[in-house]
């Protein structure tokens, strides 16, 4: 999952690769825009790509914590990556 998300333009997985079933993702949107993108992705794909975004390490970025659990295995990594692309607006649907 982390590898698929790391391939999305505008995000960085920390640490890369993850050492456990939890990792952070830092994205190049402010938290409000990330939340709007998250809702857009939920509507467009039926997948909630990430939990509520928090402010990232620098202004204009967001950070989320991803836990990989059994329930998360219901979504394939490529499907999750597409939901991230929709959320960030790097899928051709508009700005994130």
User: What is residue 96's predicted lDDT score, i.e. its pLDDT?
Assistant: 44
Specify whether the CB–CB gap between 45 and 82 falls below 8 A: yes
User: What is residue 95's predicted lDDT score, i.e. its pLDDT?
Assistant: 47
Rounded to the nearest 5 degrees, what angle is found at the Cα of 74, between the Cα atoms of 69 and 76?
100
93 pLDDT band, cuts 50/70/90, is: low
Residue 95 lies in a domain: no
Over residues 35-92, the pLDDT tens digits come to 999 999 999 999 999 999 999 999 999 999 999 887 667 899 999 999 999 999 997 6
Residue 6 lies in a domain: yes
Q: Which two tokens stand for residue 1?
A: 């999952």
Q: Is the pLDDT of residue 94 over 90?
A: no
Count of domains forming the chain: 1
User: pTM, whole model, 2 decimals?
Assistant: 0.89
Domain of residue 12 covers 2-88
d(CA 51, CA 70): 16
Specify whether the CB–CB gap between 24 and 14 falls below 8 A: yes
List the CATH number of the domain containing 36. Answer: 3.90.1150.10
User: What is residue 72's predicted lDDT score, i.e. its pLDDT?
Assistant: 63
Residue 6: count of CB within 10 angstroms of its CB: 18
């Amino acid at each position: 999952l982390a590898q698929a998300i790391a391939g999305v333009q505008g995000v960085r997985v920390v640490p890369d690769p993850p050492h456990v079933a939890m990792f952070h993702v830092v994205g190049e949107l402010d938290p409000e825009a990330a939340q709007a993108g998250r809702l857009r992705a939920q509507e467009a794909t039926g997948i909630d790509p990430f939990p509520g975004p928090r402010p990232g390490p620098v202004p204009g970025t967001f950070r989320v914590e991803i836990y990989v659990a059994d329930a998360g295995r219901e979504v394939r990594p490529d499907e999750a990556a597409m939901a991230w692309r929709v959320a960030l607006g790097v899928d051709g649907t508009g700005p994130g």
